[in-house]
Amino acid sequence: MGEKPVPLRDFLKNVEEAVNGRVATDADTLRLYSRDYWPLALLKEVRGEELPKPLAVAWPESVEEVIQLVKLCNEYKVPFAPYAGGSGVIGGTMCEGCLVIDVKRMNRVLHFSEEDALVVAESGVLLRKLEEFLNEKGFTLRHIPQSYPEAALGGLIATMSTGQFSTKYGGIEELLLDLEAVAPDGGLIPMRKNLVPRAATGPDLKRLLVGSEGQLGVITKAALKAFPLPSHSWNRAYAFPSFEAGLKAMREIMLAWATPAVARLYDKDDSAARFHDARDLLLLVVEESEEELLKAKVSVVERVVAKH
Ligand SMILES: Cc1cc2nc3c(=O)[nH]c(=O)nc-3n(C[C@H](O)[C@H](O)[C@H](O)COP(=O)(O)OP(=O)(O)OC[C@H]3O[C@@H](n4cnc5c(N)ncnc54)[C@H](O)[C@@H]3O)c2cc1C
């Protein structure tokens, strides 16, 4: 990389000071951060085409450091892109000449309450680490997107993530109780002190950050609902005479409030590819903590499926 103009050199010097030297501008790092899993970016990379390169990557360790970075970006008119696990699929972290603010070092679990069934963590915590932490306490988020090994909390919120078990437990937006973020001008958007499940205190503007893809600030901390690990589980797969019949059965199960934890309908092609069974398949996992509830749900599911 050639010599940088003086204001950018000043900018980088200030960034370096703000994060205690945790900043990189070398070609290998910039290449690594020049794409996520956006298929078009992957294709361009394979074709050897040029991808937009950031100016630098910084790894803050606290909300105060994030504030400093964002303020510097404003002062020097350098765009910034928040970055968590890097498994996004729409190129949200890609930007030419920007500062990538990678929150991965902000990865502490800050608070867990068994009584309130909630957990508060920094936005760089990997989903699988957070889940492991909760499992040790007998709890779970039951948030299992296919990017489970790589995704981190901030990215999950900023992409409005959904997972295998979201049919019952809800997408990330339903797990989210509150968050802390740094606004695009460097102002702090604090988390509520009292983490009650909901608070009707005016428009919930923080929800704008859900699905914001890094455009509305840097999420630094979030509080999420947690659930006790289920004690009973029941799994089935059903074949249907047609995809439409499977869809009807699924609809009836949901409308009867027998909501399974997982309900996935695969058409013939998908079933053949995944299960070596070329039929329209409905895969269900019904699991609940209480055996009585589980039995009741199973009987509704079996009755509806038999009809179709
Ligand atoms: C193999 C694979 C499977 C996937 N499966 C699913 C799936 O089942 N369900 C699903 O919903 N999605 C899925 N995705 C896509 C999804 O976008 C990501 O998996 C995940 O939610 C992004 O998390 P991340 O930490 O990797 O975010 P990143 O890739 O780091 O960032 C994603 C976006 O969020 C922004 N962002 C990151 N951190 C912050 C922050 N702290 N504050 C503000 N903005 C931030 C970024 O700027 C970017 O726009 C999958 C992706 C892959 C590659």
- C-alpha 11 to ligand 1 mean position (Å): 28
Report pLDDT for 2.
Answer: 63
Give the number of the atom of ligand 1 that is nearest the alpha carbon of residue 213. Answer: 49
Cβ contact 142:193 at 8 Å:
no
- C-alpha 219 to ligand 1 mean position (Å): 13
Cβ contact 120:75 at 8 Å:
no
Segment (H or E) for 136: helix 127-136
pLDDT in tens for each of the 308 residues of the chain? 567 787 899 999 999 999 999 999 999 999 999 999 999 999 999 999 989 999 999 999 999 999 999 999 999 999 999 999 999 999 999 999 999 999 999 999 999 999 999 999 999 999 999 999 999 999 999 999 999 999 999 999 999 999 999 999 999 999 999 999 999 999 999 999 888 878 888 888 889 999 999 999 999 999 999 999 998 888 888 999 999 999 999 999 999 999 999 998 988 898 888 888 888 777 777 777 688 989 999 999 999 999 99
β-partners of residue 284 are 236, 263
Does ligand 1 lie within 6 Å of residue 147's CB atom? yes
The Cα–Cα gap between 252 and 231 comes to 26
The beta strand positions in the chain, using DSSP E, are: 23-24, 56-58, 80-83, 99-102, 109-113, 118-122, 139-140, 176-182, 188-189, 218-225, 227-228, 232-240, 262-266, 280-288
Closest residue CA from atom 10 of ligand 1: 161
Whether the ipTM is more than 0.90: the answer is yes
The Cα–Cα gap between 245 and 252 comes to 11
- Token code pair at residue 126: 């990997």
β-partners of residue 119 are 112, 224
How many alpha carbons lie under 13 Å from residue 8 in its C-beta half-sphere?
13
Report pLDDT for 251.
Answer: 94
The Cα–Cα gap between 161 and 156 comes to 5
Does ligand 1 lie within 6 Å of residue 82's CB atom? yes
Report pLDDT for 61.
Answer: 98
Fold (topology level) of 6-103:
3.30.43
Closest residue CA from atom 16 of ligand 1: 88
Q: Phi/psi zone of residue 24: left (φ > 0), alpha (ψ -120 to 50 degrees), beta?
A: beta
- C-alpha 95 to ligand 1 mean position (Å): 16
The Cα–Cα gap between 228 and 135 comes to 9
Report pLDDT for 4.
Answer: 77
Mode of pairing for the β-strands spanning 218-225 and 280-288: unpaired
Does ligand 1 lie within 6 Å of residue 186's CB atom? no
Nearest to 97 by CA among 200, 208, 4, 179: 4
Which CATH class name applies to 105-228? alpha beta
- C-alpha 94 to ligand 1 mean position (Å): 13
The domain defined by 232-307 carries CATH number 3.90.230.10: no
Does ligand 1 lie within 6 Å of residue 144's CB atom? no
Report pLDDT for 249.
Answer: 93
Three-state SS sequence of 29-56:
HHHHCCCCCCHHHHHHHHCCCCCCCCCE
All structural domains of the chain with their residue ranges: 6-103, 105-228, 232-307
Does ligand 1 lie within 6 Å of residue 215's CB atom? no
Give the number of the atom of ligand 1 that is nearest the alpha carbon of residue 162. Answer: 11
Question: CA geometry: angle at 96 spanning 99 and 187, to 5°?
Answer: 35
Angle, helices 63-76 vs 6-18, to 10°: value is 170
Does ligand 1 lie within 6 Å of residue 271's CB atom? no
- C-alpha 132 to ligand 1 mean position (Å): 19
